[in-house]
Amino acid sequence: MGAKPKPGRKLWSGRFAEPVSELVKRYTASVGFDWRLAPHDIRASLAHARMLRSSGILTRGDLKAIERGLARIGREIQDGRFRWSLDAEDVHLNIERRLIALVGNPGKRLHTARSRNDQVATDLRLWLRDAIDEIAVLIRSVQRALLDQAQRHAATVMPGFTHLQVAQPVTFGHHLLAYFEMLERDRARLADCRGRVNQLPLGAAALAGTSFPIDRARVAKELGFEGVAGNSLDAVSDRDFAIEFCACAALAMVHLSRLSEELILWTSPRFGFVTLPDRFCTGSSIMPQKKNPDVAELARGKAGRVTGDLVALLTLMKGQALAYNKDNQEDKEPLFDAVDTWRDTLAIFAEMIAGLVVNEAAMRAAAQEGFATATDLADYLVKRGLAFRDAHEAVARAVRFAEESGRSLEQLPLEDLRRFSAKVDRDVYRVLTLEGSVESRSHIGGTAPSRVRAAIKRARALLKRT
């Protein structure tokens, strides 16, 4: 079976005359967070062992022992019975030490033709690939919730804003579709990122490759990688894939933060556009009437956290010479945090958006404020032959007059409207209504309810295809 490692003795300690200090041991250990790579470490080790066997480097008996030992370790980890040791530093050495204790010399042979440098890069890519697939599904869940609400409110008029001032009428369905588009770009970026994540580093060993007759393509195929890293130095030191993922996550969280901000505004009594389900809100310890949109507020804050994860990784890599450096141990916590935060936020938002209750009357009342159809009046005059700048000036004066008289544009008598342009006729009131305004924008990407419903139909077809 071979000699078991002595307690507290490192698997690499033959070079050193004294043990690592307890302070350094705690400072340099990563097992406190990289334990979550364990299933991927076992999976990659099995593929590596099978490749070593097919290349004649391991015996059949070695492979059987390794497979048996790793299967047991996997069960121990899954059942919570595995004893993680700070002495073994990280997930890789913890598993290897346990394997050697279980099967002896075959366990010692597993590390042939690999290094922890290419091992950790492989494990991290496997872990991130699974996380990307999970997040892609969650993005779709939020998109479906948005589409369902948009379908119900394709014709529900609300004010569209610029500078947070009432600008032009839109529909709530149209507004929600803007977030569908943002999330679709997030999903596409993530899918593109996945291709660069899905390249196999294993076989690069420490930095220069290995003299053993390995078959990297075989390992890549077994593990589902699309290709192998083309340069051994880059393979072990590259963390572009983690940075790129965090960039995707940061931008996606910015989109969710923008939606959060709108939900916070819309649930305020000053707007009153929507009501959030109680399970996504909290109360006040002193004010009994309060219903706070804490989930949306926290998501808005967590966007900054994920941006920080991205900046941390960029800063981590900016000064590193080739190849692997211990600095790279610091890649995992920001990456893990970005994955966890993005994933959890999406899961919550899918349910929260689905549960929104819309106050159509409040939206309509708000759209009637701020002369939202002023642009429609200007367009009306242009269609009757007035130059746009002249039409703009005429309507601006009409708005000022209406504002001073305490009326909306559609409340002004025809004779008052004609004071600002002789081209105004009785049909002008059709364009001054909220419905007339949104209906008039009947083009791809426009606010007309028919176009909103067509966009929803296209979006649902997209979800089925991808």
| C-alpha–C-alpha distance, residues 240 and 443, integer Å | 41
Assigned token pair, 213: 């007759």
Hey, what are 292's tokens? Answer: 């706070």
* Range 246-284 burial, b when 16+ CB lie within 10 A, else e: bbbbbbbbbbbbebbebbbbbbeeebebbebeeebbeee
The CA distance from 297 to 37, in Å, is 31
Neighbours of 312 (CB within 10 A): 19
Single-letter amino acid, residue 207: L
Cα separation of 80 and 37, whole Å?
A: 15
Closest by CA to 111, choosing from 126, 98, 93, is 93
- Report the C-alpha gap between 147 and 33 in whole angstroms: 38
Q: Are 358 and 283 in contact (CB under 8 A)?
A: no
171 and 157 Cβ atoms separated by less than 8 Å: yes
User: For the CA atoms of 352, 188, 124, 346, what is the dihedral angle to 10 degrees?
Assistant: 0
3-state secondary structure of 12: coil
CB atoms within 10 A of CB 418: 14
Rg of the chain in Å (alpha carbons):
31
CA distance linking residue 152 with residue 147, whole number of Å:
9
How many whole angstroms separate alpha carbon 44 and alpha carbon 198? 13
If we measure between CA atoms, which residue out of 374, 442, 464, 448 comes closest to residue 173?
448
> Cα–Cα distance between 131 and 346 in angstroms, integer?
13
Active-site residue numbers? Answer: 163, 284
